[in-house]
Amino acid sequence: MADFSVSLQVRDHECDMQGVVNHAVYLNYLEHARHEFLKTRGLDFAKLTAGGIIVVVARAEIDYRRSLRSGDHFRVTARPQRASAVRLVFEQEILLERGGDCMVTAKMTTTAVNERGRPYFPRELEALFLSASKS
């Protein structure tokens, strides 16, 4: 399956005093790409939540390779993989638009939780995964 990607640009307020993107901001970039990916599969994160499907990040593994700076144009990829009966993992990268340098690699493990807070894999996410595997 080809990676989904979304293009973004670093904004000044996302940078720290050293002039580089603050480490926590990368989580926002990664999340935005996952939400946009869901939309391409006919799912909306807010609507899932409103419907009682609470999708959460259970684990975030991030390797910071190089720093983004204000004004940089970059793209964020998202590639889902079914990891277990209740987990969906997104392999992600943040790549500089010009040159394609890899700035960040990440592995985001997600699951849905029911009303008791127990992990499960709702039918809607199964459909997402099946749709993604046909791309």
Catalytic site positions? 16
List, in sequence order, every residue forming a beta bridge with 35; answer none if it has no partner: none
3-state secondary structure string across 61-116: EEEECCCCECCCEEEEEEEEEECCCCCEEEEEEEEECCCCCEEEEEEEEEEEECCC
